[in-house]
Structure 1
Amino acid sequence: MISVYILTYNEQVDIAECIESVIALSDDVIVIDSYSSDRTTEIASRYPVKIVQHEFESHGKQRTWMLKNIPTKHPWVYILEADERMTPELFAECVAVSQSKEAIGYYVAERVIFMGQWIRHSTQYPRYQMRLFEKGQVWFGDYGHTEREIYTGPVGFLKETYPHYTCGKGLSRWIEKHNRYSTDEAKETLYQLEQGGINWKKLFFGSTEVERRRALKDLSLRLPLRPLVRWFYMYFILGGILDGKAGFAWCTLQAFYEYLILLKVDELRETNLESPYPNSLKYPDPEEPANPLC
């Protein structure tokens, strides 16, 4: 058995289906809510889950806080977002590998569901995220609008995948979220351009999809006409054209997102703001007080 964390904020549209996808599989489901102003916690309270409230600061800090402060029944945990679903096949594989002790954590690939269909090609599938791990062995730091995992032991990759309903709340919510995300990405972009570099070895010979994808992102930050390059890469090189109308819309929205980031990078440069992430991937000390980390 494994424990499951579900992260929420104003997820009344998705939370019921998310919980129902996992509640029959795990006997320890914990909802970490960031003081939602909608009916998220009301709906979640109808199910046999534990609900904990914690003010959201960032994705990395929220994850590290819950790992340090919220006890679980089982030593292995899975992180589930409200717009994602667990499947019986994925859960069975999670339980099996958690008993093998071959690794301290496992990456899981998402299947992006957009406009009612799986965007198979233009999403870089299989695109992996660290979701299953032994508690106390994996932590998280901030990177742009999201987070990156930090660990020191061996990790693996699962065969099963999870569906991710990226636009279940409508395009207006998607655009609103990515407007916020682009601000954090612009700050991280400035920092990476000033302090980071391109790891050519990992770009061409990285041992995992994660290493190659992250090296590719470091390269993309330095490319001219980045939004157009990304659209062409996703639509023609990755094969987004094969995803039909939904694929065209997905590629176009991602290119718009890149353009928004570039505009905000220029805005930050004009206002001479400093990047806020000089220590964004610092490994958190488990013995430190449970205050803002990383």
Structure 2
Amino acid sequence: MFSIYILTYNEELDIAACIESAMLSDDIIVVDSCSSDRTVEIASRYPVRVFQHAFESHGRQRTWMLESIPPKHEWVYILEADERMTPQLFTECEQASQNPDYIAYYVAERVMFMNHWIRYSTQYPRYQLRLFRHGKVWFTDYGHTEREVCDGATGFLKETYPHYTCSKGLSRWIEKHNRYSTDEARETLYQLQRGTVNWRDLFVGKSEVERRRALKDLSLRLPARPLLRFLYMYFFLGGCLDGQAGMAWCTLQAFYEYLILLKVWEMQHMPTPSLEAIKAKSEESEPEAHNLASETTKVDAV
């Protein structure tokens, strides 16, 4: 058995289905970022533990969660509210947690959009770290999301999980990615000023995770990024095979990339304190976090 953390913020439309999918575990912990809707009310109807903590960033929220809320079991799984646990994945997680050679596992997502699985243009299988031994993994911020730091070897599971990325409607998706693009613009400036491209990982990385991260660092330095991203996703990855949903998905991702570029320009040229704040943030903590992540994360295929 393993514990399941569920991260939430204004997830009243998804939280019930998410919890119900996770109830194969006898220890479910809902960590809410002070929602203003009925998320906590709905979650409290189930036999789960509910905690609230003001959101600072994805990495810090996960770190606070792992340090402040002890799980019942040695192994834990992180589940987002718009994701689902499946019986097949749960069984494989139970089996994987018995392997003493690994301290964490990556799981591939199946992006669901417009009632379709976006099989091709999402770089499937696209892995995220989800299952790990408590106390052996922590997180740092990277752009709008986070990157894990693992104290030991990691592996990959065969089963996948569905991710209903637009389950709360297109308006919510656009609002969320408007916020995300600000963080990605900050990370873009940081990478252009101080970051590097790991060419070795790009071509001969041991895993999809290493290659994808190196590709992202390279993409930040390419011209016409929105157009290149659309062409890469729709033609090179085969997004055209995802039908109408694939066309919409690739178009939205190109728009998101363009929004990031516009905010980078704004931070560089508009008379606002944005750029100074970015520089201060970079000087304070980001170099250590980036170096730590690159030096200690180990990824091995199973």
- Name the SS of the counterpart of 1:148 in structure 2: strand
1:225 aligns with 2:224: yes
1:87 aligns with 2:86: yes
CA distance in 2, matches of 1:51, 1:201: 43
The amino acid across from 1:27 in the alignment is D
CA change 1:165–1:277 in 2 (3 A) is farther
Aligned-pair CA distance for 1:200: 1.0
CA distance in 2, matches of 1:4, 1:277: 33
CA change 1:128–1:12 in 2 (3 A) is same
Q: Map 1:176-215 onto structure 2 (within 5 A).
A: 176-215=175-214
Aligned-pair CA distance for 1:148: 0.3
- Give the match for residue 245 of structure 1: 244
- Name the SS of the counterpart of 1:5 in structure 2: strand
Q: Could you give the per-residue CA deviations for residues 75-112 of structure 1, whole angstroms, max 9, x where no partner exists?
A: 10000000000001101111101011120000010000
CA distance in 1, matches of 2:170, 2:250: 14
Q: Map 1:34-73 onto structure 2 (within 5 A).
A: 34-73=33-72
CA change 1:16–1:228 in 2 (3 A) is same
1:104 aligns with 2:103: yes
Q: Could you give the per-residue CA deviations for residues 13-66 of structure 1, whole angstroms, max 9, x where no partner exists?
A: 00000000011x100000000111100011111100000011110000000001
- Give the match for residue 11 of structure 1: 11
The amino acid across from 1:10 in the alignment is N
Native 8 Å contact 1:30 1:49 kept in 2:
yes
Aligned-pair CA distance for 1:277: 3.9
1:22 aligns with 2:27: no
CA distance in 2, matches of 1:132, 1:259: 33
- Stretches of structure 2 that go unaligned for 5 or more consecutive residues are 294-302
CA distance in 2, matches of 1:199, 1:145: 21
Aligned-pair CA distance for 1:70: 0.1
Q: Could you give the per-residue CA deviations for residues 145-181 of structure 1, whole angstroms, max 9, x where no partner exists?
A: 0000011310000000000000000000000000000
Aligned-pair CA distance for 1:71: 1.0
Aligned CA-pair RMSD: 1.1
Native 8 Å contact 1:67 1:135 kept in 2:
yes
- Name the SS of the counterpart of 1:99 in structure 2: coil
CA change 1:18–1:218 in 2 (3 A) is same
CA distance in 2, matches of 1:9, 1:170: 15
- Name the SS of the counterpart of 1:245 in structure 2: helix
The amino acid across from 1:240 in the alignment is G
The amino acid across from 1:243 in the alignment is D
CA distance in 2, matches of 1:148, 1:263: 25
Q: How many residues align?
A: 283
Moved beyond 6 Å, runs of 4+: none
CA distance in 2, matches of 1:102, 1:165: 32
- Give the match for residue 289 of structure 1: none
Deviates more, 1:266-275 or 1:201-210: 266-275
Native 8 Å contact 1:77 1:133 kept in 2:
yes
- Stretches of structure 1 that go unaligned for 5 or more consecutive residues are 285-294
- Name the SS of the counterpart of 1:207 in structure 2: coil
Native 8 Å contact 1:60 1:140 kept in 2:
yes
- Name the SS of the counterpart of 1:265 in structure 2: helix
- Name the SS of the counterpart of 2:122 in structure 1: coil
